[in-house]
């Protein structure tokens, strides 16, 4: 019996959790995997498990470096709850034949909804108007008129799934749509600009939906903000690294642009308070994808990726 138990235990894949998971998901995974919480392991336990861990479960903020991958030589799969994989060394994973899977499509519509909410809030000054009423200033006069939203010009940086979802919503507001990216998309009628500065020059609203990485690092710089102009509004729901935050702060303070709305930042969760405290910026805590239904769907998909990889049937509820 003891030998049989050892064989069964050896046959059970070891899964390392880089992120907390909901109780229901944990209960399901415990029926199929030997679970280990990375944050709770000491060095001796880590060494003992080094050749046994075959999968990691992460979130979009997790960091998995080449050095970390080398610590788990049996690693086969990294399953990510979320879209972002900026913290994962994908090149090192490919070199070691480690499969990396995320949940890219689940949150597209939720992110697009939040993008429009940010754009409307920044343009129509919803947060400032809320504070105006809340602080009793309405008794002393009316809130100043805000810029019009409908019928204006929207530029999208990165016309992927999220960018397209934003464009569909923008059409309901009669916004004219243009975009920039690596190359024009033959299946859309929106005007394409070869670079982001040219796009910014021709639009009122600039929405960043691009991916992070070296190619887009600091793409939204002082020149782009200058091109966007004093009536322009910037929204970033892509990656914090894409926007030069120092240049943005200066542009907002000097009214080079009218306003900005940000859901992502360069050094999350540490955010520049001098930027956040400006009266013409709206900020949210990287929550564009964080709806209850969306998170549930992402968790389910990440769980499915684990079960599929190890050819396991779904666990009956």
**Same structural domain for residues 246 and 176?**
yes
**Same structural domain for residues 83 and 200?**
no
**Could you give the 3-state DSSP secondary structure of residue 76?**
coil
**Same structural domain for residues 87 and 201?**
no
Residue 98 lies in a domain: yes
Tally of structural domains, the chain: 2
**Same structural domain for residues 26 and 135?**
no
**Same structural domain for residues 176 and 257?**
yes
Assign residue 85 the CATH number of its domain: 3.40.50.720
pLDDT exceeds 70 at position 10 = no
Percentage of the chain beyond pLDDT 70 is 95
Task: Name the pLDDT band for 11 (thresholds 50, 70, 90).
Answer: confident
Q: What is the mean pLDDT of residues 116-140?
A: 97
- pLDDT score for 157: 98
Percentage of the chain beyond pLDDT 90 is 78
**Same structural domain for residues 75 and 113?**
no
Residue 251 lies in a domain: yes
Please state, in angstroms and rounded to a whole number, the distance separating the CA atoms of residues 233 and 310. Answer: 47
pLDDT in tens, 58-115: 988 888 999 999 999 999 999 999 887 878 999 999 999 999 999 888 899 999 999 9
Instruction: Work out the mean pLDDT of the chain and round it to a whole number.
Output: 92
Please state, in angstroms and rounded to a whole number, the distance separating the CA atoms of residues 268 and 56. Answer: 22
Residue 150 lies in a domain: yes
First-to-last C-alpha distance (Å) of the chain: 29
**Same structural domain for residues 96 and 60?**
yes
Q: What is the mean pLDDT of residues 160-168?
A: 96
- pLDDT score for 2: 32
Residue 139 lies in a domain: yes
Task: Name the pLDDT band for 314 (thresholds 50, 70, 90).
Answer: low
Take residue 95 and report the two structure tokens written for it: 């070199």
pLDDT exceeds 90 at position 233 = yes
Give the DSSP H/E element, type plus range, for residue 197. Answer: helix 196-201
Greater model confidence, 312 or 56: 56
Task: Return all residues near 200 (Cβ < 8 A) that are at least 6 apart.
Answer: 155, 206, 224, 225, 227, 228, 232
Q: Which residues are catalytic?
A: 239, 268, 286
The answer to whether the peptide bond before residue 269 is cis (omega within 30 degrees of 0) is yes
Task: Name the pLDDT band for 3 (thresholds 50, 70, 90).
Answer: very low
pLDDT exceeds 60 at position 4 = no
**Same structural domain for residues 124 and 100?**
no
Task: Name the pLDDT band for 315 (thresholds 50, 70, 90).
Answer: low
Please state, in angstroms and rounded to a whole number, the distance separating the CA atoms of residues 70 and 261. Answer: 40
- pLDDT score for 120: 98
- pLDDT score for 188: 96
Q: What is the mean pLDDT of residues 136-151?
A: 97
pLDDT in tens, 201-232: 999 999 999 988 888 999 999 999 999 999 99
The residues facing 259 across adjacent strands are 233
Residue 41 lies in a domain: yes
Name the residue range of residue 165's domain: 108-283
Task: Name the pLDDT band for 9 (thresholds 50, 70, 90).
Answer: very low
The answer to whether 274 touches 245, Cβ cutoff 8 Å, is no
Residue 317 lies in a domain: no
Residue 316 lies in a domain: no
Take residue 212 and report the two structure tokens written for it: 């992070």
Residue 236 lies in a domain: yes
Task: Name the pLDDT band for 7 (thresholds 50, 70, 90).
Answer: very low
- pLDDT score for 211: 87
The answer to whether 239 touches 210, Cβ cutoff 8 Å, is yes
**Same structural domain for residues 243 and 192?**
yes
**Same structural domain for residues 8 and 69?**
yes
**Same structural domain for residues 89 and 124?**
no
The residues facing 176 across adjacent strands are 153
pLDDT in tens, 245-291: 999 999 999 999 999 999 999 998 899 999 999 999 999 999 999 89
**Same structural domain for residues 304 and 260?**
no
């Amino acid at each position: 019996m003891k030998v049989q138990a050892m064989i069964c235990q050896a046959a059970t894949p070891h899964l390392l959790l880089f992120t907390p998971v909901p109780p229901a998901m944990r209960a399901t995974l415990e029926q199929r995997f030997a679970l280990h919480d990375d944050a709770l392991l000491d060095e001796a336990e880590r060494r003992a498990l080094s050749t046994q861990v075959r999968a990691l479960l992460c979130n979009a903020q997790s960091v998995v470096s080449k050095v970390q991958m080398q610590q788990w030589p049996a690693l086969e799969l990294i399953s990510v709850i979320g879209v972002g994989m900026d913290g994962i060394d994908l090149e090192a994973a490919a070199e070691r034949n480690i499969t990396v899977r995320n949940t890219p499509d689940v949150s597209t519509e939720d992110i697009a909804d939040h993008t429009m909410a940010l754009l409307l809030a920044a343009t129509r000054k919803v947060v400032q108007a809320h504070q105006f009423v809340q602080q009793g200033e309405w008794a002393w006069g009316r809130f100043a008129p805000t810029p019009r939203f409908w019928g204006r010009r929207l530029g999208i940086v990165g016309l992927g799934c999220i960018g397209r979802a934003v464009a569909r919503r923008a059409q309901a507001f009669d916004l004219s749509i243009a975009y920039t990216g690596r190359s024009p998309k033959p299946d859309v009628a929106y005007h394409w600009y070869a670079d982001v500065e040219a796009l910014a020059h021709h639009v009122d609203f600039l929405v960043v939906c691009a991916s992070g990485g070296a190619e887009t690092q600091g793409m939204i710089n002082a020149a782009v903000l200058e091109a966007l102009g004093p009536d322009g509004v910037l929204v970033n729901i892509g990656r914090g690294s894409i926007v030069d935050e120092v240049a943005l702060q200066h542009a907002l303070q000097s009214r080079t642009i009218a306003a900005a709305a940000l859901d992502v930042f360069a050094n999350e969760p540490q955010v520049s308070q001098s930027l956040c405290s400006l009266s013409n910026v709206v900020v949210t805590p990287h929550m564009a994808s964080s709806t209850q239904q969306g998170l549930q769907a992402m968790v389910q998909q990440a769980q499915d990726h684990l079960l599929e990889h190890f050819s396991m049937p779904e666990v009956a509820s």
